[in-house]
Structures are given as structure tokens and as C-alpha cells.
Structure 1
């Protein structure tokens, strides 16, 4: 699939529907049943220069701003989301440099500048994973950290049929496909990548993986309605994964 058509389809959806309809995930949540509060991947961020890839409406930037990060930067493919982020951060008394751009492209972000780059449930939208990781590595200082979360590929490849979980397609199938969320109108374009694809792309970009999380937090699961379909899945298979890597 042509990457520019992917840009147009997805950025249009984000512009029109926005985070409210996509049930956006923001820190301290990395995704379903995984939190920064438990895993403490960032540690003390006070004084750090931090960049968020796929910043959405700015709530994860606020999370770090409230924890005394030194500089906040964010990028997003959607102009509307950048506008929302600017408004939200201003209301919170925080300032940030916000850039509208696909994550795969050069967009004026300074090189060798940040101590931390992160992406909360956004990195999977890239049309060029290796290129995106190279860009992120170029933004980081040596020894800088990169943390990202995304929907676990096992979760994306499994459906429930007759009270059993079955694969709807091969785990190795990374082709792009259209998806229409059942809770609103519109269409998005998505690809499900294997965990090894992320790991190998990180290695090629000069990162070493320090930690990977794919288990769900039991304490959060216990707070959910036991009839929740996502909770049922989380008891059987990973639904979110998080990777913390460091630039060599």
C-alpha cells in the first residue's frame, strides 16, 4: 500500500474523529492493563528533554510536564491533534514545541538533543518502521532512552469464536488492511507486525533493548468488570507490549 495514501487516510480520521472516539491511551497507562505507575520505566524525568512521537491531545506530555521534565516536544500526523495538544497544555500551564509531521519524515526536530523519546500506542501506525527508528535514534543523545507501547500482535491476530480463541490470519502476515472501528464511522489503515520485526528494527537503528513488558497487571485487571471481553482476553493472552531501549 502506498504510504501517502496511508498518511491521508489515517490523518483524516484523526482530524475528524480524534482521541475521544479512538479511546486514546495516555500515560500513566501504556495500554490495556499496563501502567508506568507499576513498572517505572522512565524513572525520574526532572530536567530531561523529552519528545513524544504521536502526541495526540497532549495528555502524556502533561504527565511528564507535571513531573518536572525540562523540555517537552511532541509530534503528530494530525493538525487537529496538535491544536488540541497546544490548547490542553496551555490550560495546564505547560509549554511545548509541537510539530505536525509523519513520524517517518525529517521535520526539523534537533539531532542528538533528547534524553528520552517515547510513543504511547502510536508507533504501530508508521509506514516505515526501520526508518522511524533511525529517525528516533538520531534525535537521542548517546545513552538516551526510547520507550514505546503498542497493541500486542497476538492480540491483534486472535478472534473469539464459539468461546475459543482462534487465529484469524497467520502471525507472520504484516500486510496493511483497512479497519472500521465499530464504535464510530470512518476508516483507518493498519498493519500487524511481529515482535521480532520491532526487535530487529531497533537493533538496526543502534538500540539495545533493556526491558520488554507483555504481561497484564493483575491489580488493574481485578478492578474491571469480569464480563469485559478485553479482560477475558487479557487472562489468556498478552494485549499490550512495551519496550524500553537505549541508544548505544
Structure 2
């Protein structure tokens, strides 16, 4: 099922790429979540070697290039996303390396090389979280930082209906699911927050921060409001979780 899921998701992302061009890149961590301007998880990135897992259209890499990153690398499953990223980053000050590849596979990325590996709202697309985290650990230097954000595990287990919040899916249920908010077939992975934390620990990471805060300014609400992300739901449940950890 893994290869079939990757084929489905690649096709879906190639079709949807334009719709997601430049959506929620750094300094954003995701819809209705605090930003890097609030959290300062990356700190000074000047001269650092940085790799993005699920780089999409390349806007987060551009943000880091503008802040003086030493090298910017990215990989993404979608050929359309990689094409967009290449076009966006063509005049970057930093050296750029981009790979069209699933995050579960290593397309030729060096080991023990990166100061920072990060992923902005992409990690839930992996078909094998354990393998993806092993790859991240492999890419990082000793003491290197891994920062990622994803939809909070509680968010799609609860729906807002007629002014009430209804839990319509067990929190204990994990595994693949087809996301109802996508126009095309798209298969994501559902994990408990404890699963993320325990797999990070098992794969040799020390967790430094887990952030479940929300940002519900008027600007945030207007920019992100849609059928899936809403003020009413997010004021009760975090839309995103953000984790910073370090390779031991």
C-alpha cells in the first residue's frame, strides 16, 4: 500500500500545487498558529546548512535565504512543487539543492551534514513516520536541530457543528486516512501526539519544545478562515502542533 499511497499523493499534489503556491510558509508554521516572529525557534540562520522536508513551492527556503542561510536544500514528492521551487529560488544568494522524492526515501542527501532540518505542515504526508525520522536523524550533524509543524492530532478528530464541538473519531485510532477537505484523493497519516514524541525519542532526538498555542488575531482569522480551519473550532482546539528537538 505504501507505493500506491505515494502514487496517489503525488498525483494529488501535482494537481493541487497551484492552489497551495506560497501558502503558510515560514515565518508561518500553519493556519492559526504562532509564527517564527513569535517563537524564534530557528534563531540566527546565517551560514547554516538547512534542509526542508516537503519543501513545496520553496517559499520557506526563500525566507531562510533572505536571512543569510549558508545552503538551502529541499525535497518534495511533487514534480510540480519542485518546478515551482526551482523557479522561485533561481536567484538565491545561497546554494540551492532540490530533490523530487518521497520523504521516506533518501535521494542522495548527505549524512551528518545539516545544521537544521525542518518541515512546515508536511510531516503528516509520510507513509512511514519512523523511517522519515530516521532519515532526518541521518541527515543532521550531531547537535543539529529538527523543527516541524503539522495539524494538531486532535483537530480532525473533532468537528464543529451547529455551535457545538463533536468528537467523531477516536483519538486512539492511528494510521492512514483520506482527508475529506481535499478535492482529489489524498491519503494522510493520523498519529497521537505521544507517537510523535516517542518516535523522536526512540530515533535519538532530545525534545526541546512542544508548542500547541494558537494565534487568533483578526488578520489570522480572515486569512485562514475556511470550512476546515475556523475561529470557533480553533479557540477550543489547537490547529497545529510545533516541535523543536535536537540530534543527540
How far apart are the structure 1 equivalents of 2:231 and 2:219?
9
Select which of 193, 206, 213 maps to 2:191: 193
Equivalent residue, structure 2, for 1:224:
221
Unpaired runs of 5+ in structure 2?
none
RMSD, matched Cα: 2.0
Unpaired runs of 5+ in structure 1?
none
Note if contact 2:21-2:57 (Cα within 8 Å) is conserved in structure 1. no
Do the aligned partners of residues 75 and 29 (structure 1) sit closer, same or farther apart at CA in structure 2, a change above 3 Å counting? same
1:81-125 deviation digits (Å, cap 9, x = unpaired): 111100011155654100111111121100000000000000111
Compute the displacement of 1:230 (Å).
1.1
How far apart are the structure 2 equivalents of 1:19 and 1:29?
19
Is 1:159 matched up with 2:159?
Answer: yes
Select which of 190, 208, 218 maps to 2:206: 208
How far apart are the structure 2 equivalents of 1:152 and 1:101?
25
Equivalent residue, structure 2, for 1:97:
97
How far apart are the structure 2 equivalents of 1:172 and 1:120?
25
TM-score, normalised to structure 1, is: 0.92
How far apart are the structure 1 equivalents of 2:3 and 2:180?
19
Note if contact 2:59-2:88 (Cα within 8 Å) is conserved in structure 1. yes
How far apart are the structure 1 equivalents of 2:54 and 2:224?
32
Equivalent residue, structure 2, for 1:70:
70
1:38 is paired with a residue whose SS is: helix
Q: How does 1:115-130 map to 2 (within 5 A)?
A: 115-130=115-130
How far apart are the structure 1 equivalents of 2:220 and 2:177?
34
Note if contact 1:62-1:94 (Cα within 8 Å) is conserved in structure 2. no
Note if contact 2:70-2:95 (Cα within 8 Å) is conserved in structure 1. no
TM-score, normalised to structure 2, is: 0.92
Do the aligned partners of residues 236 and 46 (structure 1) sit closer, same or farther apart at CA in structure 2, a change above 3 Å counting? same
Equivalent residue, structure 2, for 1:10:
9
